[in-house]
A and B are shown apart, each in its own frame.
Chain A
Amino acid sequence: EVLPTTKKASVCQCLRLVKGLRKKCLPPILHVSRLNSSTSSSPVPRITTHYTVYPRDKDPRWEGISMERFADEADVIIVGAGPAGLSAAIHLKQLASEQGKELRVCVVEKASQIGAHTLSGACLEPKSLQELFPDWKERGAPLHTPVTEDKFGILTEKYRIPVPLLPGLPMRNHGNYIVRLGHLVRWLGEQAEQLGVELYPGYAASEVLFHEDGSVKGIATNDVGIAKDGSPKEVFERGMELHAKITIFSEGCHGHLAKQLYKKFNLREKCEPQTYAIGLKELWIVDEKKWKPGKIEHTVGWPLDRHSYGGSFVYHLNEGEPLVAIGFVVGLDYQNPYLSPFREFQRWKHHPAIAPTLEGGHRIAYGARALNEGGFQSIPRLTFPGGLLIGCSPGFMNVPKIKGTHTAIKSGMLAAETIFQKITDENFHSETAGVHLPEYEENLQNSWIWKELYAVRNIRPSCHTALGVYGGMIYTGIFYWIFRGKEPWTLKHKGLDAHQLKPAKDCTPIEYPKPDGKISFDLLSSVALSGTNHEHDQPAHLTLMDDSVPVNKNLSIYDGPEQRFCPAGVYEFVPVETGDGQKLQINAQNCVHCKTCDIKDPSQNINWVVPEGGGGPAYNGM
């Protein structure tokens, strides 16, 4: 069920009251409690109950419960049915059918239906789709909106400064299509099923399985029937094990299994940490007079200052009704803990250059997702014994173009080609039980993905000077437009996004305007539009490594940024039942699986794990 709004309203009132008190009398106590949680004035309430933090083999409630799992085998297992995963599955089957071979390909996907967790702008460069399906048009791929007009502007508080989009600049979109990526992914799923791929939406891969020699054996899907307090329910059942010669991990940006694999196989030792942004998006039915099918508009500038990377998009779709996709992206390396990406998005809509398009229209969808910004410098090692990474999970997004779908599809195809060659080669004997395919990495480095990402590698880091985003634009103008990215140096990123926040005492709170209910909206009604829901009686999947950190560190030093950066209102600081102080309340049911909290938590204490399959947003063509 969606959280009752009245309860939340009164909680918010209490919170404001307590905040007022806190500023007057609590800071000294909080400073002390920061050092040692056992001296804090109130006991730490138990928040996390998930078995990844509190293992079941030591839990008396789980004594005598059979933990055996049913297991099955396939040739290739793919985790995540997004553009990359489905392209890999499709291409494997295409190759198998061309060469008269049999391959069992299974895809697991945490969304209840294919496309329900997909969210993107999106402006698609069709070149890799063209490679995958030269006849995509005849097959009815939902690319209905060729780009007809492309505008770029810098916003100030009241005005818009147009910036000419000269041919050769990365953000030019001539020849591309505006798509509803969720619908394209759904179509890819249908093509995959027709080719014989086994698709299992509603089943999340929750655990990586390993052979004795340490290579990846496959995955296990989530257990079901665990109560909120972590105990087994009557309907408890173990997930299933799926074993394969090779497992493809295509979980999208900041995947939770990928996070484990980076550590286990040390895949990030030679690359920079990944950096991210959060993208929030809404779909609007606008007044027909305002509708210009095929028109693309991007802005930078207001309401963000030049040191906060981000901008907006407005894409006019051409699919029958006057539908416009709008969105706002905020780089997660922002420094001010009082910044709320959601509220920046809402207030941006009121700008005189944007509001007229939305006036008289109404909003029909909302959602959010983190996206990669690290580009070339942040690509990790892609292969390990028994598995490999494709798509936005390792991260092949071309940041200045804001496109990652075309590279994701291509990486899936390259993985498929490399895998097919190896496992159908009779003379191939793997040294490890799970197949290791370093050739995939070589093939990717020889492909256009690598060249494209190399050419734009310095644009995002060039925004870190005192000139901010404008420095980035100047850099792009000189080094990309003129020199095509051939400069011999590679700029570095600033480090982990989570470490960029300044303490709250050094920053100014931002005064956001109240939503007007016509163009801008409050958080809860927005979350309701995402259709998100989770089985209520399960452990919260937003797990804390240490339950005392949110209040003792995040709240005391950074004023609880998680209550602002979460686009779904999952994190709330509420007063404790007895005495003074606050505790973190996690409304796990609201989660839209964007992964921002796992990325931006300054304490890196939040570990997002996958909830029971089928839960999460119900996006339709986002």
Chain B
Amino acid sequence: MSARVLVGVKRVIDYAVKIRVKPDKTGVVTDGVKHSMNPFCEIAIEEAVRLKEKKLIKEVIAVSCGPQQSQETIRTALAMGADRGIHVDVSGKDYENLGPLQVSKILAALAKKEDVRLIILGKQGTFASQVDFQEDSLKVEREIDGGLETIKIKMPAVVTADLRLNEPRYATLPNIMKAKKKKIDTVKPSDLGVDLSSQLEVLSVEEPSQRQAGVKVETVEDLIKKLRDSGRI
């Protein structure tokens, strides 16, 4: 009942937009490109807000790591029902090099600082499709290749949201207006004692090679011959 939940929300290029590689090959074009909250993060926020509406947790904190514009994404999370936001200010070269390792260190530091019992994130981690909150443990149902798996975990815990966890509510205009009054704290990674240096270096970013047209053959003999000619067998 007194638990706090931390939800990570990420500002990403909108999924309907065509990505273009920068001419200098250092990354993709982001300036002026339409961004939105990662759809899986929307599902994560929705789950956290539902837990709060069921009075199972006390407070939902939305966190985003990135430049100034990440605050817009946090505002949307606040409009959906999060109580306050934390913007971890990372920009420029640091932002380009910000990888999963750095973000997880930041989230871990924040979770300790804010005394958080549950972290909910967008997918690619543990893909939960149903979450039941019990006093100090969680019953999580998740979709795996073989079917459904139900596990019980103690808290503090990290859960990631899959597509079928819920249908997120809209951030409506009255809530956006109210969200302008909710608090967003800005912190720097150094304030959290996190070192952003990366062991990875991006050498170049390129578009995937164009799909080559296939070749149709008439007989099995033709097929064997073509495979032999191209050195495949």
* Neighbouring A residues of B36 by C-beta, 8 Å: 112
* Neighbouring B residues of A621 by C-beta, 8 Å: 32
| Chain B interface, number of residues (Cβ within 8 angstroms) | 22
| A235 with B167: CB separation less than 8 A | yes
Does A528 make an interface contact (CB < 8 A)?
yes
Contacts across chains A and B counted by CB atoms under 8 Å: 61
Closest CB of chain A to B180's CB: distance in Å? 9
Known: A618-B33, A621-B32. Contact between A225 and B16, CB under 8 A? no
Chain B contact residues, majority secondary structure: loop
| A618 with B167: CB separation less than 8 A | no
Closest CB of chain A to B70's CB: distance in Å? 14
Other-chain residue from B34, B168, B176, B177 in contact with A618 (beta carbon distance below 8 A): B34
Does B151 make an interface contact (CB < 8 A)?
no
Does A402 make an interface contact (CB < 8 A)?
no
Does A171 make an interface contact (CB < 8 A)?
no
| B172 with A224: CB separation less than 8 A | yes
| B176 with A529: CB separation less than 8 A | no
Nearest neighbor of A534 in chain B, beta-carbon distance:
B16
| B173 with A620: CB separation less than 8 A | no
Known: A237-B169, A618-B34. Contact between A72 and B18, CB under 8 A? no
Query: 12 A-B pairs, CB-CB below 8 angstroms?
Result: A70-B174, A112-B34, A115-B32, A203-B176, A233-B167, A235-B168, A240-B173, A528-B18, A531-B34, A618-B16, A618-B34, A620-B32
Known: A531-B16, A618-B17. Contact between A239 and B173, CB under 8 A? yes
Nearest 6 pairs of A and B residues by beta carbon: A533-B16, A618-B34, A620-B32, A531-B17, A224-B170, A240-B173
| CA gap between A183 and B173 in the complex, in Å | 25
Nearest neighbor of B23 in chain A, beta-carbon distance:
A321
Does B14 make an interface contact (CB < 8 A)?
yes
* Neighbouring A residues of B18 by C-beta, 8 Å: 528-529, 531
Does B226 make an interface contact (CB < 8 A)?
no
| A620 with B33: CB separation less than 8 A | yes
Does B164 make an interface contact (CB < 8 A)?
no
| CA gap between A152 and B173 in the complex, in Å | 48
| B14 with A533: CB separation less than 8 A | yes
Nearest neighbor of B173 in chain A, beta-carbon distance:
A240
Does B20 make an interface contact (CB < 8 A)?
yes
* Neighbouring B residues of A186 by C-beta, 8 Å: 32
Q: Among the interface residues A2, A221, A532, A620, which one has the most CB atoms of the partner chain B within 10 A?
A: A620
Closest CB of chain B to A236's CB: distance in Å? 9
| B173 with A221: CB separation less than 8 A | yes
Does A487 make an interface contact (CB < 8 A)?
no
| Chain A interface, number of residues (Cβ within 8 angstroms) | 33
Residues of B12-27 at the interface with A, using a CB-CB cut-off of 8 Å, are 14-18, 20, 23
* Neighbouring B residues of A1 by C-beta, 8 Å: 16
Residues of A186-227 at the interface with B, using a CB-CB cut-off of 8 Å, are 186, 200, 203, 221, 224-225
Other-chain residue from B15, B35, B170 in contact with A235 (beta carbon distance below 8 A): B170
| B167 with A234: CB separation less than 8 A | yes
* Neighbouring B residues of A203 by C-beta, 8 Å: 173, 176
| CA gap between A145 and B176 in the complex, in Å | 37
Q: Among the interface residues B16, B17, B20, which one has the most CB atoms of the partner chain A within 10 A?
A: B16
| CA gap between A233 and B167 in the complex, in Å | 10
| A618 with B173: CB separation less than 8 A | no
Other-chain residue from B14, B167, B170, B174 in contact with A531 (beta carbon distance below 8 A): B14
| A364 with B34: CB separation less than 8 A | no
* Neighbouring B residues of A556 by C-beta, 8 Å: none
| CA gap between A186 and B32 in the complex, in Å | 9
Does A116 make an interface contact (CB < 8 A)?
yes
| CA gap between A621 and B168 in the complex, in Å | 31
| A113 with B172: CB separation less than 8 A | no
Nearest neighbor of A182 in chain B, beta-carbon distance:
B32
Residues of A361-379 at the interface with B, using a CB-CB cut-off of 8 Å, are 364
Residues of A567-622 at the interface with B, using a CB-CB cut-off of 8 Å, are 618, 620-621
| B17 with A200: CB separation less than 8 A | no
Residues of B87-104 at the interface with A, using a CB-CB cut-off of 8 Å, are none
Closest CB of chain B to A179's CB: distance in Å? 14
Residues of B147-180 at the interface with A, using a CB-CB cut-off of 8 Å, are 167-170, 172-174, 176-177
| CA gap between A9 and B154 in the complex, in Å | 52
| B32 with A237: CB separation less than 8 A | no
Closest CB of chain A to B25's CB: distance in Å? 14
Closest CB of chain B to A313's CB: distance in Å? 22
| A200 with B176: CB separation less than 8 A | yes
| CA gap between A239 and B174 in the complex, in Å | 9
Residues of A503-545 at the interface with B, using a CB-CB cut-off of 8 Å, are 528-529, 531-533
| B14 with A240: CB separation less than 8 A | no
